[in-house]
Amino acid sequence: MNWQLVIPGLIILAIKLVGMSLFMVHFSQIFSTSDSPENSRSSTNGGRTGCSIRWTFHRGKCYFFSGQEKTWKASQRDCSEANSNLVIINNKEKLEFLYNNTKSEDYFIGLTRTGTENRWKWIDNTEFDPAIFTIGLYSDTSDCAVIGLTVVGTISCSVPNRWICEKKAEQLS
């Protein structure tokens, strides 16, 4: 038997088996079609960010930018199921981060116009601060806010749209 040909063949076979095993283990994460934040798994990068897969880490928080569209209430429900909420923009630095990550799409944020006073409030019931950004009105009857490439505008809460969830990053040990 010619061992000079058998040994390289065994090495190639071992490499292929290891590669196929890794592919099968991570197949669902690579090709997952689910776009709900609650279906995200823990990060496999050593947990350095404290965020789940498909979540973006920024300044101690994790952000989920959806790829599908739902109404504002359904969007908030998806965030809630992932122990998060629609994003609250309370400083200009976070606003800039969101502008840089929304690309050319609009995303629901946690700002709505509610009550008889018709005032803008965040989902945590804090008042909207116009010093951080102004809201461009797409329509006078719009009751939800969306953020896009360079603007925060308004839209009806019942119109399906993408959304952004936000939560604190997990503590790493």
* Domains of the chain, first to last: 53-168 (3.10.100.10)
Point out the residues of the chain with pLDDT beneath 50.
Answer: 28-34, 39-47
Q: Looking up tokens 């196929």, which residue turns up?
A: 20
pLDDT for the residue 172: 64
| Residue 35 and residue 120 in contact, taking contact as beta carbons nearer than 8 Å | no
Alpha helices (runs of H) in the chain, residue ranges in sequence order: 3-30, 72-81, 92-102
> Which residues, in sequence order, are CB contacts of 91 under 8 Å at separation 6+?
132
The pTM for the full model equals 0.72
pLDDT for the residue 22: 67
74-99 pLDDT, tens digit each: 999 999 999 999 999 999 999 999 99
pLDDT for the residue 34: 47
DSSP secondary structure code for residue 31 in this structure = S
pLDDT for the residue 41: 41
